[in-house]
Amino acid sequence: MGGINPSEIYNELLKIREEIKDIKLRVHSIEGRLDKYSEFEETQVEPAVGKIIIKPEKQEEEYLEDEQELELEKEEEPVFEAEKGPLFPGKKIGFEENIGKKWFSRIGIISIFIGMVLLIKYLYDRNLMSPVEKIIFGIIVGLVMLIAGGFLNNKKYENKYEYLSRTLTGGGFAVLYLIIYTAYNPYRLISAEIDMILLALIIVFAVFLSLRYSSRVIASEAFFLGYIIPFLSNINEYSLVYATVLTIGLVIIVQRKGWINMAIGGLIAVYVTHISWLLGHNLAGDLLINALFLSAYFIIFTTLAYTIRKPSDEAPSLENFQSVLFKIPESYHGILIAALNAIFFYGLFYLVINTNYKIYAGLFTIMVAVVYLALAYAALNKNAKELFAIYLTLCTTFITIAIAVQFNDQWITFAWAIEGFVLLMMGFRYNAPGLRFFAKVVGIIVLVKTIFWDTGLEAFDIDNILKSTRFFAFMISIITFYASSSMYFKHKNKTGSESKTWEYYFIGGVLLTTLILSLELSGGWITIAWALEGFILLLIGFRYNERIRVLANIVGILTILKILFMDTVLLGFYIDDLFKSMRFFVFLITMTTFYASSILYLKNNDTPDHERKFWKYYLIGGVLLTSLLLMLELEGGLISAAWAIEAIAILVAGFRYELSFVRKIGIGLLLLTIIKVFILDLAGLKTIYRILSFLMLGAILMGASFLYSKYKDKL
């Protein structure tokens, strides 16, 4: 049959549809060039919903079905970005045009505003104009500027004077603010209530026009020139009311339009106004007023921080906490407002309380922390991830500050250390990297305070332990650092970029341990403690991780340096009073730990290549300390005899365990003994001792030769 093929009709309709879409794009582009935009923002064409229904005739069986419908799916039209320019709203404005159109008008309106202030003051100071005449004159000037701005906004000018129009309008509002403000303060021509009503009406009109024309220019000039007005006269409580009302108007605009820079500017402006008021008033007498206005600012900008942000489709996730906090999100503006609001609010409120009611400063700080905890909870329920992060950060910060404000030095360290550890536990319990980050920040603060401040606290006193504040401050820090390190170590495979954090906590614990031992002990006891500390660290290192062995080796180096350069002058060995033989015990314990450390390294064959020779270093250290101790505690030929016996013992050990390096140390010590006998002992000893030295040396050398002959197959 020769009927019409429905598939061909369908294809033709698709082509027609594409042509219609192209025509619509062209029409929209032309309309976009003619539309007037006060602020050149992105515009979007609403997608057209079009359905073309084709009901083919029942002619061929493969296409003929009862009432078959063919629909074209709806497609969204492309989003057009408004071009900028008088006729082309998307065209980029050049440098010259930007200076000529924008900056000249901005500077010009500021100059006119300042000129008006100076002119009115000049006329009034010279009695050329009464207060009433000045008010009338100012109102006329302000209205003329508003009318001129509206006139230049006429459609017949085709947006040619758009920016100038907005500038004049904003300047007109600023002049009206000035005149109405001065009608009560300082001239008292009208009551404060009427004056505030008039100001509120002007602010409402400014808000209306700013939103009507979507104009930053009107808003910025009307409001920020308005913030300058209180500084032109004495700032009093009325100035604070005026600044608060002005701020409410500004916040309404920012909340609707999202102009974050204006919000930040308004926040700074209103708090600076409050600071100026504080500087001129008795803080104790004005505490209630101070509290009321600061609370008002806080509530205004806290509300703005919630309402200005763009809603997120994602549910808040504590796992993304750190990325939310440190990768500036799209809605970063709420975070910035919240942070600045907290800094100004707490700083100014604390200044008043600490000046007059210092005993309550810590309590006030805790109350602020509780407020931010509640705000964090509210933000979490509202899916405001960024605000949740900043409010929880502020809560933690104020808890930390409260501890510092309320407690004494040692208790500050105690509380901070516990706080950091609790935050870390919560971070692992709820899988929240952000909480763990706060814990690390608190940990750094604890470490710095313990090292640089707590070293000056009361030393350990066995007769009055409760006054041993330094010991307890260090101990709580050390315990929490080691516990935090252990916690991170257990979860190191689950923490990603934090997998090495356990090392930093452990290093902090070792540093504090080594420091407190040197502070609370004295003389040789420090060396003994360090030697034992190093050996314990080495044991832990072989049990858990090679990084800990690095710390053990560092402590070992410190120990041997202290012995060589400081402990040789300690009291020598006394057979009648062993407890006074400090040098002997220092050397004995240290060289024992060195020999034991050398054995540990020898027994652990799975150490990395760079650690394979460490047993030799510990052995050399042990032999060096042994030889030095014998030289310090003995005299003359006895030193040679002792060295020779020591060398034989080393050789025996070398043959017993088939360690060539050990045997070489024994040979070296024997050579040193031979040199001493033939050079020093010949010249300084009596004949009998000289004979004994030679005989003993000869016997020992023969013994050494016997060992080499017997065990030659092990060489």
Lowest mean pLDDT among 54-63, 158-167, 186-195: 54-63
Residue type, 620: I
pLDDT digits (tens, 9 = 90+) for 652-684: 888 888 888 998 898 888 888 888 877 776 666
Preceding amide of 186 cis, omega within 30:
yes
Instruction: Determine the average pLDDT of the residues in 213-236.
Output: 74
Q: What would the pLDDT profile of 72-104 be if each residue is shown by its tens digit? A: 343 444 433 333 433 334 445 555 555 655 666
The reported pLDDT for the residue numbered 513 is: 96
pLDDT of residue 460: 81
In angstroms, the CA 184 to CA 446 distance is 54
Residue 61 has pLDDT above 50, yes or no: no
- The answer to whether the beta carbons of residues 490 and 545 sit under 8 Å apart is no
CA distance 341 to 351: 15
At 592-617, the pLDDT tens digits run 999 999 999 998 877 888 888 899 99
Does pLDDT of 46 surpass 90?
A: no
pLDDT tens-place string over residues 271-330 = 999 988 888 776 555 778 888 999 999 999 998 887 764 433 343 444 443 333 333 344
321-372 per-position pLDDT tens digit: 333 333 334 445 667 788 899 999 999 998 888 877 888 888 899 999 999 9
Percent of the chain with pLDDT over 90: 21
> Mapping DSSP to helix (H, G, I), strand (E, B) and coil, where does residue 44 land?
strand
Q: In 521-575, where does DSSP find H-type helix?
A: 524-543, 546-565
Contact at 8 Å (CB) between 361 and 350?
A: yes
Q: So what's the pLDDT on residue 283?
A: 59
Tell me how crowded residue 597 is: count the other CB atoms within 10 A of its CB: 27
pTM above the 0.85 mark?
no
Residue that the structure tokens 């996730």 belong to: 317
Buried-state track 411-449, b at ≥16 Cβ within 10 A, e below 16: bbbbbbbbbbbebbbebbeeebbbbbbbbbbbbebbbeb
Quickly count: other Cβ atoms within 10 Å of residue 25's Cβ. 14
Contact 552, 563 (CB under 8 A): no
pLDDT for 368 equals: 93
pLDDT at 6 (0 to 100): 60
Give the Cα separation of 15 and 72 in Å (integer).
12
pLDDT reported for residue 684:
62
Give me the numbers of helices (H) and strands (E) for the chain, helices first please: 26, 2
Closest to 697 (Cα-Cα) out of 623, 645, 656, 652: 645
Q: How far is CA 157 from the centre of its chain?
A: 52
